[in-house]
Structure 1
Amino acid sequence: MFPKVNDFVYLQVASADKDETNKECKSRIADVEEESFLIEVPIETVSGRIKRLHGGDELSLYFLTEGGIKNYFNTYVLGFVSDVVQLIRIHKPPVESITKIQRRDFLRVIAELEIAVKLKDNTRFVTYTDDVGGGGVSFLSDDNYNLTSGDVLECWLLVPYKNGSIEHVPFEAEVVRTKKLESGRWITMTKFLNISNLERQKLIRFSFERQFDFKNR
């Protein structure tokens, strides 16, 4: 399902500047073409400033459908069209690449992924996740590192895909709960505090690939 003319879309631009990547912008579908969409010039949702896009910019975009479903896809800027106002032409992805996630209800899947964690006292360690999803991750460790509910962590996750590519996903997470297991190890459950839509989309894509694998076993 694609967005329709006049539907609002929300996007973030891939950038080496983390602050720029984290800025969410709002636009509207002006026209739908066979292989592209035309969108209005986006506006930053917080500052209200115009967001200038350039040819080739990579975008993470979502639009809402009934029931608060967020429909995510990745795209890029193809060019510009001068009409009554300037419009931006973006690539229309394959419909099967659009992932549907209900607001505040992100799928989690069991997965052992390498994760680097930095604590507020600058302690760093590398361990592995127990599960991952678009709303947070849980990880296992041999030490609790004095973690308690509400602690904020800086994390970097290695996310592998079925096509062999690997993505690095940075985010800030809040500890929800810790628990000591019978094995003597600790499990730490977290929720995302600060993650860009572009990075969240990478995790959602991985979760859907993993869920598909489980269903076909």
Structure 2
Amino acid sequence: MKIGTVLKLEKIEPETGYSNTYRSKIIEKEGQYLFIDLLNDNKTNKTTIFPKGTPFKISYVGRDQSVHLFNTKILRLAKGELPAIVIELPSEEKITTIQRRRFVRIDTAVDVAIHSSDISFTTVTVDVSGGGVSIILPPSYTFEIAENVEIWMVLHMQSGEINYISAKGEVVRIDDNESLRKASLKFLSISKNDQQAIIRYGFEKQLEARKKELL
């Protein structure tokens, strides 16, 4: 983990099962101790203070684009020019890696707009990843392999945050199944922020699916 790494913190109330998420980032690191920004509530966008000992489940995207997850708690509030929260980073064996591949495809329907030099249309995705998307091809629309397109998507995060994604892509495969025609598009150019947003979106969908399996 490096200075500036963005953290997602989830707090679960054991009595009710209610959970809420907060965001922060690492501003300093001393051995196994992390100094992070004061927490911002993802729903209200307000700074929230918690007492010493408050437990959190923390996730972050690593340099390898994998999502890492660990449990920790607030140790203390460090006062100074920039107040910071001190938490402990557990040993590596206590950090779970959710995504081991560079880009994990998540089956999900997301509204998407496609533009090429010849056609434009809106549709939904079949799956998404940090490396590209598969989309449903509406009737009467088709592509050529290696054709360049512009891709626009809207991702609704669990926090209520909305991310508008834009990327340049290339058609790598057409599936002309009679019942459902699909096109696979590889990202050729996408901003780091947009790619990170897609990875976080996929991570949230994975956790959502795991929670449903446990019900």
Fold-level similarity (TM above 0.5): yes
Within 1, Cα distance between the matches of 2:210 and 2:112? 26
- Partner of 1:210 in structure 2? 205
Q: What aligned pairs does 1:9-158 form with structure 2 within 5 A after superposition?
A: 32=29, 34-35=34-35, 64=63, 69-70=64-65, 105-121=102-118, 123-143=119-139, 145-158=141-154
Shift of 1:181: 2.1
Report the CA distance between 1:190 and its aligned residue: 1.1
- C-alpha distance in 2, partners of 1:152/1:202? 23
User: Normalising to structure 1: TM-score of the pair?
Assistant: 0.56
1:100-146: CA deviation from partner (whole Å, max 9, x where unpaired): 7557x30111111100110122x211110000111110000223633
Q: Distance in 1 between matches of 2:181 and 2:100?
A: 30
Q: Distance in 1 between matches of 2:139 and 2:66?
A: 38
Higher Rg: 2
2:62 & 2:124 partners in 1: Cα distance? 32
| Letter matched to residue 176 of structure 1 | V
Bigger relative contact order, structure 1 or 2 (CA pairs below 8 A, ≥6 apart) = 1
Residue type at the aligned position of 1:151: E
Which runs of 5 or more residues in structure 1 are unaligned?
Answer: 11-28, 38-60, 74-88
- Paired residues of 2:27 and 2:35 also in contact (CA < 8 A): no
Contact 1:70/1:100, CA 8 A, preserved across alignment? no
Query: What is the CA-CA distance between 1:180 and the residue it aligns to?
Result: 1.7
Using the TM superposition, give the Cα deviation of residue 62 of structure 1 relative to its aligned residue in structure 2, in angstroms.
7.1
User: What fraction of aligned residue pairs are identical, expressed as a percent?
Assistant: 28
- The CA deviation string for residues 23-61 of structure 1, in whole angstroms up to 9 with x for no partner, is xxxxxx996365359xxxxxxxxxxxxxxxxxxxxxxx9
Distance apart, 1:3 and its partner CA = 2.8
* Structure-2-length-normalised TM-score: 0.56
Distance 1:168 1:139 in 2: 17
Verify: 1:190 aligned to 2:190, yes or no. no
Give the distance between the partners of 1:208 and 1:139, measured in 2 at CA: 20
Unaligned runs of 5+ in 2: 6-25, 38-59, 69-81, 90-96
- Given that 2:132 and 2:187 are in contact with CA atoms closer than 8 Å, whether structure 1 keeps it comes out as yes
Supply the RMSD in Å over aligned alpha carbons. 3.7
Q: In the superposition, relative to structure 1, how do residues 111 and 208 fare at CA in structure 2: closer, same or farther (>3 Å)?
A: same
The residue number in structure 1 matching 2:18 is none
CA gap 1:139/1:101 in 2 versus in 1, 3 angstroms? same
Kindly tell me: are residues 102 and 144 of structure 1, through their superposed partners in 2, closer, same or farther at Cα, counting changes over 3 Å?
A: farther
1:181-203 Cα shifts (integer Å, max 9, x gaps): 232x4100111100111000010
Question: What code does the residue aligned with 2:137 have?
Answer: S
Structure 1 residue aligned with 2:2: 3
Aligned residues: 147
- How many angstroms apart in 1 are the aligned matches of 2:61 and 2:182? 32
Distance in 2 separating the partners of 1:109 and 1:135: 11
